[in-house]
Amino acid sequence: MFVLRKFVSAFIDHPKLLVGLVHGPCIGIAFTTMALYDVVYASDQATFHAPFTSLGLTPEGTSSYSFPKVMGPAKANEVLLLGKKLSAAEALECGFVTEVFPADTFEVETKRRLELLPKLAPISLKESKILIRSLDQAKLHKVNDLECKRLIGMWQGDECLSAAAKFLSRK
């Protein structure tokens, strides 16, 4: 569990701008840690899914805190508790992604935006990110610790083992 805790902590503490590009399915920890990114661009073919309860697991990647904060409690509960898969349009609507592009122009559009980043004042960018993240940073680490502890118990439980066996027996 130390590896997962450290992995998520790297996103929480990352000092530089984190930009996510999603051009297809974004599932599990890839989805949950995306709430820790500063900017997320998606193609209209992107989907976002956290199937925890169907796998006998609990949220990770600070999603139990960050999703309600970003999406609002109702949408976060639908995603985390009911396993609702979000389309790119739904993710944009609830504030999870910054912008959605048509799949056929995704690479060109995101490249154009990424090329603007080096033109930003680096110290200003870094200091601004510190200010934005500072109020939540300790809370995010606490949530990460709590989620990791819960996952240890879940991984050893019957629900998770049953879901894993069911998955492995699929043809």
Of 60, 107, 115, 159, the active-site residue reads: 60
- Tokens 């599932």 locate to 27
**Long-range contacts of the stretch 75-82 (C-beta < 8 A, 24+):** 79/48, 79/50, 80/50, 80/52, 80/53, 81/53, 82/53
Catalytic annotation on 159?
no
**β 25-27/19-22 pair status:** unpaired
Packed helices 158-168 and 122-155: angle between N→C axes, nearest 10 degrees: 100
Q: Which helix (H) or strand (E) holds 39?
A: strand 39-43
Cα–Cα distance measured from residue 149 to residue 37, given in angstroms and rounded to the nearest whole number: 23
Q: Which residues are catalytic?
A: 60
